[in-house]
Amino acid sequence: MTTENLQSNANPRPKEIEHELDEKGYFNRQKNRFTTPFGDGESKLPIEAGRYRLIWSKGCHWSNRTSIVRELLGLEEAISVNLVKHGEHGQDVGWEFLYDENGTDPVLGVQFLRELYTNAEQNYEGRATVPAVVDITTKKVVNNDYVWLTNYLENEFAPFHKPGAPDLYPIHLREAIDKYNDFLFHNVNNGVYKAMFARSIEAYNDAYNQLFSALDTIEETLDTNRFLFGDYVTDSDVRLFVTLARFDTDYFKYLGPLRNRIVDFKNIWGYARDLYEIPAFKNNTYLRDIVKSNGNKSILFVDFNTRFWDQIDYEGLWSTPHDRQTKSADPEQKFFTGQAGGF
């Protein structure tokens, strides 16, 4: 489908500030539409290797966490992957397969993510979001539920994990992890957006204060814990990391006067670098792309990171030494695999 055809046959991408703000100026993120869980049974999506394709974007932390977990667990052969980004058109038509030859996904044969959403629901009116899991056999989006998607990879897709894959969602911690993930969502992951999209000073102040209060709590936790739940990385660490990776490189431009940058939190900054050392985190975190894609350095007044994105040594900055291993009883291991000492 060409851009012209898509624009004539589909609504433009809905704008958050027009459709996801309440009367008081508070941002309320759209609910995920395709939430059928993976698992056994007629009402669930079947667990099959090679059937699904994960669509994500370098700049989107909601999808970035799914790509990190996919690699951590060794699911590269079980679930294929492709990247999308936004193009430049007369109207915003959402995510496109611009990294591929002819701008077309080689497996799904489409140019725009929205096509896969309308394949699943002809009159779909929401934003076509990432992550999106597509059934290759039908070319339909079957799940875009970022809230639970990493957990499905950790649990339901366990038969396809690589040998010695980390246990990111240990059964005895699941209730605590779910509760903590809810805290992260409201105050940090979505908290930055609630501040950035706020259209009243009341909504902004509430979101801003909740965000930094949460970061203070996390900083205190990480003063004694190497990771959020102790000695080993869990699903919660992935969810926090993807927001931290974007905070000083992108989000800061829209948050107003910053009380702290991430590099100003001693424990959080060391923790973020500790995670970045892990190949799956580093391989799926495109720091320079996050910066470059968000501004035009040719205009007179432009933010610091956009002006100097091609001169800042992000790799060097994120690879500076830390002493986080001293906070662990198992300093040589970052993951629980069933063979370590246990949580």
Please give the pLDDT value at position 9: 43
Residue type present at position 263: V
CB 20 within 8 Å of CB 196: no
Q: What is the pLDDT of residues 260-274, one digit of tens each?
A: 999 999 999 999 999
Please give the pLDDT value at position 10: 46
Using a 10 angstrom Cβ sphere, with 0-12 exposed, 13-18 middle and 19 or more buried, the burial of residue 151 is buried
Please give the pLDDT value at position 7: 46
* Confidence (pTM): 0.92
Q: How far is residue 128's CA from residue 12's CA, in Å, rounded to a whole number?
A: 10
- Average pLDDT per 10 consecutive residues for the chain, totaling 343 residues: 48 68 74 90 94 97 97 98 87 88 97 95 89 98 96 98 97 97 96 91 95 98 98 98 96 91 98 98 94 69 84 95 97 84 62
Please give the pLDDT value at position 8: 37
Is residue 193 annotated as part of the catalytic site, yes or no? yes
Helices 235-247 and 174-184: angle between axes, nearest 10 degrees: 20
Is residue 208 annotated as part of the catalytic site, yes or no? no
**CB within 8 A of 338, min separation 6: which ones?**
167
Identify the structural domains of the chain with CATH numbers, from first to last: 3-160 (3.40.30.10), 171-327 (1.20.1050.10)
Place of tokens 């060794």: 74
Q: Catalytic pick from 26, 124, 169, 193?
A: 193
Nearest to 304 by CA among 261, 343, 266: 261
Please give the pLDDT value at position 267: 98
Q: Catalytic pick from 52, 60, 180, 232?
A: 60
Nearest to 219 by CA among 166, 259, 276: 259
How does the average pLDDT of the chain come out, rounded?
91
